[in-house]
Amino acid sequence: MKKVLWFLSLGISCVCVILFSAYSGMRICETHTALADYVGNFSGNIDNIQKKGAGKQSFSFVVIGDTRKGYEIFEHGIRRINKINPDFVMHLGDFVEKAKKHHYDFFIGELKEMMIKVPMFFVAGNHDVFVYPRHDVNRKYFKRKLGNFQFHFVYGNSLFIGMDNSELNPFNEEQLVWLKDILEKNRTVEHKFIFMHTPPINLNIKKKSSGEYKKDFNRDDPAFRNTIKGYGIDCVFVSHFHGYMEKKVDGVNYLVTGGGGAPLDAGGYHFVIVNVDGQKVDHKVVNMRKIWVFEDRFELMMHTTVYDFIDENKILTVILLIFSSLIIIKSVRDYIKRAR
């Protein structure tokens, strides 16, 4: 009898998991198709933010990086950002764990549910473009869901430039020509801020012995540093390292902020608020609590792991469903036979 009940439970569990994750996956795909029209790097949003900032000498913006699977922490951050009500938010990348359709769908759905009330822009991180474990580059999800990889706009008295070094390589010549052209055309703009995911300077991280780990954090990009020389850059904001750090290289401030929710390398979870007031620029670190909600984790797992598997292995799932149903039928028949 014990054996019958065990098989019955196994069969029912398999069917429930498959059906629930399929339902959850389809619900997210159907209901979360697009973000608010002020979220993302689409040309319309860039035009709108530039118009909104015209003539402003005093404003604030928030920078947050590396949120990945830490949706509860990210959500807590968005609630606080909504209260602070900055002019806009810059996300420094690594907002999904894997650059796959269902990871992007889940992220877009969650971001929509968080109801960010101010414009939000994104630079891509390595997790947002690599399809693990194959590591081949897949950029179509970012482009479709969040717009252009590189962008720039003038907001009031400040220039903002978002750049793409998500593939963990130094910037190529085309990118540096693009950057120089923007800096040249906006030479007279009072403040200049650049945003990217991977640090273009050596952070001197010696924490782990893995060569990859060291290389990613301690990669110097002298061509980038030379390109921005002489333009009076106020700050280059970077992420990838899950912690907080400030460095000055060639007289330029580099602010590393990657404490948005991904597992930490150092320090605590946080985001940064930057205040621009005429000639003055200052920033403040806002700490966030570590939060872990079972229900959210369960939903994340169901969608990005189980439903992802189901969607990629439809035939195998149907076979599994039939097999589980047969187990249930056989178990019920055995149970009835024994009961008689």
125 touches Fe ion by CB under 5 A: yes
Q: Which residue has the tokens 């909600």?
A: 293
The one segment of 106-114, 128-136, 237-245, 314-322 that binds Fe ion by CB under 5 A: 237-245
CB nearer to Fe ion: pick between 45 and 126: 126
CB of 266 to Fe ion, least distance (A): 15
240 touches Fe ion by CB under 5 A: yes
Residue 154's H or E segment, with its range, is strand 151-155
94 touches Fe ion by CB under 5 A: yes
Quote the CA–CA distance of 193 and 145 in Å, as a whole number.
24
Of 21, 45, 126, 257, which lies in the binding site for Fe ion, with binding defined by CB under 5 A? 126
165 touches Fe ion by CB under 5 A: no
CA 98, 102, 104, 108 dihedral sign is negative
- Segments in 32-121 forming alpha helices (H): 43-53, 71-84, 101-114
Residue 141 backbone zone (phi > 0: left; psi -120 to 50: alpha; other: beta):
alpha
Q: Total residues at the site for Fe ion (CB under 5 A)? A: 4
CB nearer to Fe ion: pick between 126 and 304: 126
CB nearer to Fe ion: pick between 245 and 302: 245
CB of 66 to Fe ion, least distance (A): 6
Q: Do strands 191-195 and 158-162 pair parallel, antiparallel, or not at all (unpaired)?
A: parallel
CB of 198 to Fe ion, least distance (A): 7
Name the 3-class secondary structure at 90. strand
Quote the CA–CA distance of 125 and 136 in Å, as a whole number.
14
Give the residue closest to Fe ion by C-beta: 240
Name the 3-class secondary structure at 334. helix
The one segment of 54-62, 120-128, 290-298, 320-328 that binds Fe ion by CB under 5 A: 120-128
70 touches Fe ion by CB under 5 A: no
User: Which 3-state string (H, E, C) describes 238-267?
Assistant: ECCCCCEEEEEECCEEEEEECCCCCCCCCC
CB nearer to Fe ion: pick between 89 and 238: 238
The one segment of 139-147, 232-240, 295-303, 329-337 that binds Fe ion by CB under 5 A: 232-240
CB nearer to Fe ion: pick between 100 and 191: 100
The one segment of 25-33, 236-244, 260-268, 280-288 that binds Fe ion by CB under 5 A: 236-244
Q: Which residue has the tokens 């097999």?
A: 323
The one segment of 70-78, 79-87, 89-97, 317-325 that binds Fe ion by CB under 5 A: 89-97
75 touches Fe ion by CB under 5 A: no
Quote the CA–CA distance of 43 and 140 in Å, as a whole number.
17
Residues 6+ apart with CB under 8 A from 228: 179, 183, 194, 236, 252
Quote the CA–CA distance of 340 and 210 in Å, as a whole number.
64
CB of 274 to Fe ion, least distance (A): 21
Residues near Fe ion (CB under 5 A): 94, 125-126, 240
